Amino acid sequence: MAVDLAIESMSVAEKVRLLESVWQSLCAHPGDVPSPEWHRDILEERTRRLEDGRATVATWADAKARLMKLGQ
């Protein structure tokens, strides 16, 4: 199925809402979404970075707020 969206004309806030909708749809059936091997590699590296203090985490609310500010 082809979906024709005017993504380039969307604001950042609209794009974030679209991504949230797609993510919610995917999360409704997580078993249907295969995870490639390289995802595990990235997750392992990110875990190492968190454990040794080279990285920090942010809540989705904080990350979303930063993205929304970029679109203003």
Position 52 in a domain: yes
The total domain count for the chain is: 1
Task: Tell me, yes or no, whether 1 lies in a domain.
Answer: no
pLDDT along the chain (72 residues), means of 10: 82 93 92 92 96 94 92 76
Q: Is position 2 within any domain? A: no
Give the CA distances from residue 49 to residues 1, 53, 68, 71, in Å, rounded to whole numbers and listed in that order.
Answer: 40, 6, 27, 29
pLDDT the model gives residue 15: 93
- Please give the residue range of the domain that contains residue 58: 11-70
Q: Does 20 reside within a domain? A: yes
Give the per-residue pLDDT at 30.
87
